[in-house]
Amino acid sequence: MQPHAFLNPIQRLFPEILAMIFTFCLPDVPKDLGELKHISSRNAPLLLCSVCSSWRCLAISTPHLWQTLHFCSDEKLTINTESITSGIRTWLDRSRALPLSIRVVFWIRDPSEETQRRLIFKVLSQEVSRWEILEIYENKIWVTHPPFGNLPMLHTLDISESSIDGIPFTAAPRLKKLSLRSLPNPTSVSAIPWDRLVELTIRKAQTISIVVDVIQCCPRLESLYLQAKEGNEDGSLTSSSITRHDTLRRLHLYLLRPSDMIIDRLTLPALADLSLRYHVSDSDVDLKLRCSQLVAFFTRSKCELQEIALYHPEFGPSELLECLSHRSCQTLTHLVIQGDEPLPPMVDRELLTRLTYSDVDDEVPLCPKLGHLELDNCYSSDSSFPDLLGRMIQSRCFGRAQDAQLKSLRLSSLRFSTRGQSNHHGLSVSSEDYELLQFSQSNGGLNLRYSDVTLGLQLEISNRQDDGI
């Protein structure tokens, strides 16, 4: 009998295959850098090193496991600088010559801790020529960065919670993605390679005139995330000044005062993903977004949207219907609508009817390619037609081509229904709606999620059939 016959099945794998499997064990990177956790022996790759000697040798000799480094100085812990710097050095050595993705979080409580931070950056900077992704989160923006030198491989830089001073943008010829806390002083602004950027994030609110200037400076920009506020200090924007940008595909805006809407100043024919968040106080009633602004933007841009998210637009039902009826929305695959608790629901009988596939004719409903739908505090079952939502969802889950089938639905509500039996489990969903939704989940493959944030009750229905909730 051959010796390998006594081995466990996984021990019979070729090392190259096992090493590839190891790479799928690496932890995911959180979207919010502030949630980043420090390196842990409970996660790969360190966890793999503790299984057995053969796995340890294989993990250590697999550079791809070590090309991503996360460092987080917990504000509750005292950092042992010597052991940390030694560990970082070992980690970087194991990555050999591969490009590096480095994400660091520093909780600095007083200026004396800047020494520790500087020593850690000194070790990291020894491999500056291999930096491909650098993300820095700091709770203090008064700290300064050490000289970085040349950054020939740097592709992504996130310093949205850090100072921009000391960043040698001119030494980063491959920089494509940039996240800033705010626009820096004029000297630093001139050093940023705006003409090469494809993705830009600015955390602090900027005036509309500045935002338009930035868009004009970035001819290759594909994704833009920022906050915008009212303002036109230099008078450069007039009522007729409209900027056309032919490559911008993703625009996510947080609007503080949307009366002077930035979308009034833009034409974006390539736009596929639009997210608009509004923050307007009750005293600013006249400053709220008008549906006509959004429709005019769609008409002017002639874009084919794939994703749209509207947070607190304060549209009436007829306005939301007008928006979703536009030809730019007929290519949507993702739709998110978030309403406000005191206001009447935006999703009404007419909209649900227009979204429903008909059984008797070939009439195409609104948004025929919709695959993912999220309704947050904008729907409540109609007592006269208590199953409209369920029927609409069911019509999109059964008998549709793959690209026209609804795959996920998320419903949430902050309200209590006062209609007795029409309210199921305290949600603004009737029992008739609920039964049809559950049927679509059980038999149509719908990924369905309910939540009631008022009660703190969250009802999740997985893709397997359950006896109850």
- Per-residue pLDDT tens digits for 253-269: 998 765 457 888 999 99
Residues in the chain: 469
**Which letter does DSSP use for residue 30 in this model?**
P
Report, as an integer, the average pLDDT of 62-77: 85
Predicted local distance difference test score (pLDDT) of residue 417: 45
Calpha distance 343→448 (Å, rounded): 25
pLDDT in tens, 368-384: 999 999 999 999 888 88
Q: Where do the domains of the chain lie?
A: 9-180
pLDDT of residue 465: 39
Contact 312, 277 (CB under 8 A): yes
Cis peptide before 45 (omega within 30 of 0): yes
DSSP label at residue 180: E
Is residue 340 predicted with pLDDT exceeding 90? no
pLDDT value of residue 343 = 76
Instruction: Provide the token pair at 7.
Output: 């081995």
Task: Give me the chain's average pLDDT, please.
Answer: 83
More confident residue, 36 or 314: 314
Q: How many CA atoms lie within 13 A of 343 on its CB side?
A: 17
User: Which pLDDT score, from 0 to 100, does residue 178 have?
Assistant: 95
First to last CA, the chain: 54
- For 393-406, the pLDDT digits (tens) are 999 999 888 888 99
Q: What pLDDT sits at residue 457? A: 43
pTM comes to: 0.85
